[in-house]
Amino acid sequence: MSLTLADISAAQERIRPYIVRTPLLTNAGMDTQRGRQLFFKCENLQEAGAFKTRGACNAVFALNDTDAVRGVATHSSGNHAAALARAAQLRGIPAYIVMPINAPRSKVLNVGSFGGWISFCEANLATREAACAKIIAEKGATLVHPFDDYLVMAGAGTAAVEMLEDEPDLDAILCPVGGGGLLCGTAVAAKFLKPGLKVYGVEPALADDVAQSLRAGKRISIPSPATIADGLRTNCTGEKNFPIIQEHVAGILTVSEDAIRTAMRRLKEVLHLEVEPSAAVPYAAILEGKLPTTHRRVGLILTGGNVDRSEHS
């Protein structure tokens, strides 16, 4: 098994009726201030409020009817959960969602609004996986993993395809990385559509498992990260994701919590876009000067806009 441009192209056709083709925004003031052209892919305006709807729809609508009727299941801190609940609702099948007890309230409400059946568990990966496995055994549902799934990766990669259709002359793309689904889809799409383009993952310095893993040459698991970027609090990148990241990603940039907060504020003040902390990390990397100066035309994926104001005010 692997991930190819053909998989991403198939996903693009499959999910077209169920997603928004989100805009690619620019701002001359931001460009002048940073000395490069920045192109913001606004997945915060996506259905269910995040890019995750792309992978979830691809996985759900790829199911055959026999498997689909038993439903789908996942464990997620929020955005994938809401996306999967919405995709299942569109297909008329149940979605069983395991969420950590510390999931942001806004994301819990989002899942509920799409009819997801929510079970809560302790906020660690082992407990989440065990609770999800129990539901799958009881219901016969199909697991749709938040990132360690080729269909999910392929769906996520459609955002990069749209970016390059709208702006073919990008020389770098920055995207947040938690488990690696979006990063893998983006990197594979870029490799085949524009081989010279460099793709970088960006993660909080407090949740730098992917950066550590690349340095070690193997998957590294870290304690539950304390970053405000709740969507990037993964302990370890996916088993399927890591080889793709090793082969196709130019590097991993890490950013501070202060830079994430500043990036959120600037995106709201200047672009009038409300993005969640996880979505702000690419712009945080620009603010902290983490991207090599050789890159002049840079795409940034703003992954979601499901903000819990009580946590980030």
Q: What positions carry a catalytic annotation? A: 52, 77
Contact 118, 132 (CB under 8 A): no
The Cα 101–Cα 32 span in angstroms is 43
Question: Which DSSP state fits 4?
Answer: -
Contact 190, 197 (CB under 8 A): yes
Q: Which two tokens stand for residue 220?
A: 């590294």
Of 47, 55, 56, 49, nearest to 19 (Cα)?
47
Of 197, 187, 274, nearest to 237 (Cα)?
187
Torsion over CA of 27, 310, 111 and 231, rounded to 10 degrees?
Answer: 60
Contact 95, 71 (CB under 8 A): yes
Handedness of CA 59, 62, 63, 68 (dihedral sign): positive
139 vs 72, 94, 127, CA distance in Å? 9, 10, 18
The Cα 248–Cα 187 span in angstroms is 6
Q: Which two tokens stand for residue 297?
A: 């035309």
